[in-house]
Amino acid sequence: MTNPKTRSFVWDKVKKNYYDKGIHNFWLDEAEPEVHPQQFSNLKFYAGNGAQTAMLYPYYYSKLFYEGLKEAGEDKVIVLTRAAYPGSQKFGSLVWNGDIASTFLNLRMSVKTGLSMAMSGIPWWNSDIGGFHSGDTRSEYFRELIVRWAQFGVFCPVMRLHGARIRTPEQTERFPGIKERTGGENEIWSFGDENYEILAELVKLRERLKPYICRYMDIASKEGKPIMRPMFFDYYKDPVCYELEDQYMFGEDILFAPITEQGCISRKVYLPEGSWQDVNSKAIVKGGQWIECEAPIDKFIAFVKEGAEVAEVF
């Protein structure tokens, strides 16, 4: 991909076999490149030795599709990729954090990953809601996890449900005699009636947040400011905000504190200076302090700056 002639050749094939047949959006997926074992020094690229240049691969992979789609007349380009490199954002790269296991540990890590990506200059980021591997839709563990992850997903640049769920015994074999490892149901009504009601409300909330999100993604495009941002991004004079890894700002007006521990229904949240409205109780709370917040499974913890218009959507 680092060779311009290679990119031209690949795009010609993609255009003929996909774009010209009506497929104008692409999930590029694996873009690292994935190498097993990871001995990049054994690879040779047009740009140089693999140990020195391999991480440029996702940059040029996105560049290939961006330039091809723009040349074909597409105005707005976005490509879903599993990897990126500084500068990939200008090619419409929407990055997610890979095929991770369906665990609360990975949910916690995803919060940090999203904030790290934002501070790396890449505002388009998301994760597989519920994780990717080994999600058992019948287990209480996963059913709790999927709700907490969906709550987190509402306050990510992109909200996307995806994953290789375990097939249930009731599912018929599409290919008799061949045991499929995945293919379990993965719609919001696939995790129990109670969860369906919760997840449906989260999807509706996300839709109501659309104007707010679009405004901040436009700011990200023009000014480089990410919508999902660490607390210190806006409150750089507050030393406490430099220590916070599990709560963040979603734009300038929303503070979100995800629940990332199994069985947890409360947690401490730090409110920086100003006055904040609890989206659940609607109470106004003075900033500059730690507070304890309750969050049963059908609730999430978020605060809106007092007087902000976005409070109306909650």
CATH of the domain at 261: 2.60.40.1180
Residue 257 and residue 184 share a domain: no
Residue 207 and residue 258 share a domain: no
Task: Give the integer Cα–Cα distance in Å for 43 and 70.
Answer: 31
Task: Read off the tokens for 51.
Answer: 């140990």
185 noted as active-site residue: no
Within a domain: 220: no
Task: Give the integer Cα–Cα distance in Å for 21 and 15.
Answer: 8
Is residue 204 within a helix (H) or strand (E), and if so which, with residue range? helix 193-208
Residues forming a β-bridge with 133: 101
Residue 207 and residue 231 share a domain: no
Task: Give the integer Cα–Cα distance in Å for 159 and 258.
Answer: 15
Q: Among the listed ranges 24-33, 115-124, 136-145, 243-252, which one has the minimum average pLDDT value?
A: 24-33
Within a domain: 305: yes
Domain count, the chain: 2
99 noted as active-site residue: yes
Residue 232 and residue 98 share a domain: no
Q: What residue numbers bound the domain in which 302 lies?
A: 227-313
pLDDT tens digits for range 14-30: 999 999 999 999 999 88
Residue 184 and residue 44 share a domain: yes
Task: Give the integer Cα–Cα distance in Å for 97 and 82.
Answer: 6
Residue 192 and residue 130 share a domain: yes
pLDDT tens digits for range 208-262: 999 999 999 999 999 999 999 999 999 999 999 999 999 999 999 999 999 999 9
Dihedral angle sign, alpha carbons of residues 261, 265, 266, 269:
positive
Evaluate whether 231 touches 272 at the Cβ level (below 8 Å).
yes
Nearest to 108 by CA among 248, 245, 7, 255: 245
Residue 121 and residue 252 share a domain: no
User: Which residue, 189, 212, 235, sits at the end of a domain?
Assistant: 212
298 noted as active-site residue: no
Residue 38 and residue 98 share a domain: yes
Q: Which of 29, 74, 238, 252 is catalytic?
A: 29
Residue 207 and residue 239 share a domain: no
Q: Which of 67, 99, 136, 261 is catalytic?
A: 99
Q: What is the pLDDT, as a whole number, of residue 180?
A: 66
Nearest to 103 by CA among 138, 132, 137: 132
Residue 17 and residue 86 share a domain: yes
